[in-house]
A = this chain, B = another copy of it.
Amino acid sequence: MVQFSTAHEVLTVVFQVRGLESENPQLSVLLWERALDPERGAWALPGGRLRDNEDLTSSARRQLAEKVDLREVAHLEQLAIFSDPHRVPGVRTIASTYLGLVPAPAQPELPPDTHWQPVDQLPPMAFDHHPMVLHAHARLIAKLSYTNIGFALAPKEFAVSTLREVYEAALGYQVDATNLQRVLTRRGVISRTGTTAAPGRAGGRPAALFRFTDDRLRVTDEAAALRPPA
Q: Which A residues are closer than 8 A to B by beta carbons?
A: 2-8, 49-57, 78, 80-81, 83-85, 92, 94, 96, 141-142, 144-146, 167, 171, 173-176, 180, 183, 221-229
Q: A81-B78, A144-B226 are in contact. Are A4 and B2 (CB under 8 A)?
A: no
Q: A81-B78, A226-B144 are in contact. Are A5 and B6 (CB under 8 A)?
A: no
Q: Are A145 and B224 in contact (CB under 8 A)?
A: yes
Q: Which residues of B contact A78 (CB under 8 A)?
A: 80-81
Give, as a whole number of angstroms, the nearest-CB distance from A105 to chain B.
23
Q: Which residues of B contact A167 (CB under 8 A)?
A: 226
- Indicate which residue in B3, B55, B96, B229 contacts A49 across the interface (CB closer than 8 Å): B3
Q: A8-B94, A142-B223, A180-B226 are in contact. Are A85 and B54 (CB under 8 A)?
A: yes
